[in-house]
């Protein structure tokens, strides 16, 4: 507490002046942007801090958590929490919330937008016209979605929405996940078997040490020269060097990526290729969804500050 008000440290960049959660946080207490605190100021403030706000594209290691010995909760603006030291949060018995479900529809839309873009060459066509190539050259044919096999790696909240949407495109769905689901679609035992079966492989599995490089050279070869990869999960799910090699050698037809192993840095090898579509981690990035995420994060923080269970706890963390 600070001046009898809850004390909040916000890890979201202070340069992001329109961030919908950052704008609302002052309703709840005294807010400090982490990137505006010197190491000395952060250490001095540390014992007063009740709430740490992060986002799923940020790193929140133990060294950051150690600065705040009296923390009550950690709030993640996003559904993925692979950047947070969850084991340490659990060890300290902290409440830890994230923002699932409210972003599923929009993230699914982006996955399908990327699939349509890479197969129907939307961004490529745009660049072709802007370069003035249309009067001089033929534009290559694309590939249809209708009647094709869509392999969904991770039939969770987002994967299930993608599966539903894909029915409108009249695609056949297959999936892989840790446990079988009560759905009419075929389940494959692993990523390689799914890649072997499908035309389009879309990855929506959380980032974790277990899922690191699940899409490797073997999986890409199973997808094959007519196959396309879409990654809207986490960059670390895909072995980027193996992907660049497979794309260069046309061992797969194309890839569309919203997430990257070292984002915001994107490998030059990817940028140089024209059978790749790239977006800067835009899955949940609509005005409406970001507002919904901010609203859910605010409700979670309010609950924790009044000593109650958060509405959407990160799996494995405190539920009371
Ligand atoms: P979710 O509901 O937890 O679904 C995750 C799915 O992945 C589940 O089907 C789960 O299987 C499966 N899975 C987990 N570990 C696996 C493994 N080792 N092998 C095979 N399948 C595995 O999560 P969600 O809400 O759909 O979100 C998924 C991820 O998308 C997030 O964690 C985040 O990283 C990413 N995301 C990205 C953006 C973006 O901006 N690009 C936006 C939102 C989310 P079980 O059901 O059997 O456990």
Give Dmax (Cα) for the chain. Answer: 70
131 is catalytic: no
Nearest-atom number in ligand 1 for the CA of 205 is 7
CA distances from 229 to 34, 40, 133, 319 (A): 37, 46, 27, 37
Which atom of ligand 1 is nearest to 211's Cα?
A: 18
Q: Which residue has the tokens 């980032």?
A: 207
pLDDT at 78: 98
Q: How many CB atoms lie within 10 A of CB 253?
A: 20
Dihedral sign, Cα of residue 71, residue 72, residue 77, residue 80: positive
| DSSP assignment letter at 314 | P
Residue closest via CA to ligand 1's atom 20 equals 177
At 80 the pLDDT is 97
Establish whether domains 7-98+286-306 and 104-278 are of one fold. Answer: yes
Domains of the chain by residue range: 7-98+286-306, 104-278
Whether ligand 1 lies within 6 angstroms of the CB of 100 is answered as: yes
Question: How far apart are alpha carbons 81 and 319 in whole angstroms?
Answer: 17
194 burial via Cβ count (<10 Å: 0-12, 13-18, 19+): buried
Q: CA angle, corner 127, sides to 123 and 131, nearest 5?
A: 175
Please tell me the predicted confidence (pLDDT) of residue 95. Answer: 98
For 77, 309, 311, 312, the CA distances from 315, given in Å and listed in that order, are: 15, 13, 12, 9
Question: What's the pLDDT at 21?
Answer: 98
Nearest-CA residue for ligand 1 atom 37 is 233
Look at residue 16 in the predicted model and tell me its pLDDT.
95
Q: Please check whether the domain covering 104-278 is classified as CATH 3.40.50.720.
A: yes
- pLDDT in 10s for each residue of the chain, 320 residues: 898 999 999 999 999 999 999 999 999 999 999 999 999 999 999 999 999 999 988 999 999 999 999 999 999 999 999 999 999 999 999 999 999 999 999 999 999 999 999 999 999 999 999 999 999 999 999 999 999 999 999 999 999 999 999 999 999 999 999 999 999 999 999 999 999 999 999 999 999 999 999 999 999 999 999 999 999 999 999 999 999 999 999 999 999 999 999 999 999 999 999 999 999 999 999 999 999 999 999 999 999 999 999 999 999 999 99
**What atom in ligand 1 is closest to the CA of residue 206?**
32
- What's the distance, Cα to Cα, between the start and end of the chain in Å? 22
Among 57, 58, 78, 80, name the best residue to mutate to test ligand 1's pocket (greatest count of ligand atoms within 8 A of Cβ). 80
> What is the Cα–Cα distance from 43 to 66, expressed in whole angstroms?
10
Q: What integer pLDDT is reported at residue 212 of this predicted model?
A: 98
Is the distance from the beta carbon of residue 111 to the nearest atom of ligand 1 less than 6 Å? no
In angstroms, the Cα distances linking 31 to 52, 182, 300 are 10, 45, 16
Question: Which residues make beta-bridge pairs with 9?
Answer: 32, 52
The answer to whether 293 touches 287, Cβ cutoff 8 Å, is: no
Reported pTM = 0.97
Q: 86, 107 in Cβ contact below 8 A?
A: no
From CA 209, how far away is CA 82, in angstroms rounded? Answer: 9
Q: Looking at residue 177, what is its pLDDT?
A: 97
CA–centroid distance, residue 30 to ligand 1 (Å): 34
Which CATH number among 3.30.70.1150, 3.20.20.30, 3.40.309.10, 3.40.50.720 corresponds to the domain 7-98+286-306?
Answer: 3.40.50.720
């Amino acid at each position: 507490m600070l001046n009898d008000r809850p004390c909040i440290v916000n890890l979201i960049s202070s340069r992001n002046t329109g961030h919908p959660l950052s704008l609302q946080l002052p309703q709840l207490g005294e807010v400090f942007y982490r990137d505006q605190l010197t190491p000395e100021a952060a250490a001095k403030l540390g014992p007063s801090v009740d709430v740490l706000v992060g986002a799923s594209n940020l790193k929140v290691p133990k060294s950051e958590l150690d600065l705040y010995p009296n923390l009550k909760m950690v709030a993640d603006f996003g559904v993925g929490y692979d950047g947070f030291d969850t084991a340490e949060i659990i060890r300290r018995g902290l409440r830890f919330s994230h923002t699932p479900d409210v972003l599923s529809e929009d993230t699914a839309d982006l996955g399908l937008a990327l699939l349509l873009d890479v197969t129907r060459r939307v961004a490529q066509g745009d660049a072709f016209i802007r370069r003035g190539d249309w009067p001089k050259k033929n534009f290559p044919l694309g590939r249809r979605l209708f009647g094709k096999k869509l392999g969904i790696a991770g039939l969770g909240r987002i994967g299930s929405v993608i599966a539903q949407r894909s029915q409108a495109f009249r695609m056949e769905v297959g999936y892989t996940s840790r446990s079988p689901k009560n759905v009419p679609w075929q389940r494959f035992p692993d990523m390689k078997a799914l890649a072997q079966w499908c035309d389009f492989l879309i990855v929506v599995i959380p980032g974790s040490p277990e899922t690191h490089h699940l899409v490797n050279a073997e999986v890409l070869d199973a997808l094959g020269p007519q196959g396309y990869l879409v990654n809207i999960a986490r960059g670390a799910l895909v072995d980027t060097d193996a992907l660049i090699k497979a794309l260069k050698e046309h061992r797969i037809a194309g890839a569309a990526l919203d997430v990257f192993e070292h984002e915001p840095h994107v490998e030059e090898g990817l940028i140089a290729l024209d059978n790749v579509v790239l977006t800067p981690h835009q899955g949940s990035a609509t005005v409406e969804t970001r507002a919904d995420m901010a609203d859910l994060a605010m409700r979670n923080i309010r609950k924790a500050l009044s000593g109650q269970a958060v509405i959407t706890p990160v799996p494995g963390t405190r539920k009371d």
